[in-house]
Amino acid sequence: MVNHPLLTDPDTFPSNDVLAVALGKSFNAFEQFIDRVTNTDFNLDMQWNYYKDGKSWLCKTTGNKKTVFWLSVWDGYFKTSFYFTEKTAPGIQHLDIARGLKDDIRESRAIGKLIPLIIDIRDKEQLGDLYTVIRYKIALK
C-alpha cells in the first residue's frame, strides 16, 4: 500500500474519474460523503487546490469562511484532517465516536498551537463518526 498521498500531478485535476481510480472500493463511500457534506445536512464548500509544498492535491472544506477539515486521497482511501486548539480538542472525548479516534487525538502531538485529528475512511460504515466530528467542528466558535 502506498504510504503517501496520491494525486501528485499538478496538471491532473481530481475529477470524479481520477478519484474513482485512486479510491477504488472506497469511492462509493467518498461519493456518499461528498453528497452529504455539500448539501443540506452541512452545506459545506469544497475546493481542490494543488499545493506545491506537499506536492499533491488537497481539498479544503469550509463552512461560513471557517476551515472545517482538509481532505487528501491515498491508495484506496481518503483522509480527513481536522485541527483543534488546546481548548477545543478535549471536547472530542465527549462525542459518541469510536474509542480509537478519542485515543488518537489524546495522543496527538500539537503542530504549533493546533492539535490534529486525522480520520482515514475506507468504507461507508466509518462515515457516522466523521459526521459527528464535522458537527462538533462546525459548532465551535
Give the pLDDT mean for 97-104: 96
Residue 3 pLDDT > 80? no
102-124: pLDDT as tens digits: 999 999 999 999 999 999 999 99
Q: How far apart are CA 137 and CA 129, in angstroms?
A: 12
Q: What's the predicted TM-score (pTM) here?
A: 0.93
7-23: pLDDT as tens digits: 999 999 999 999 999 99
* Structural domains of the chain, with CATH: 16-139 (3.30.1460)
Under a CB-based contact definition with an 8 Å cutoff, are residues 8 and 56 in contact? yes
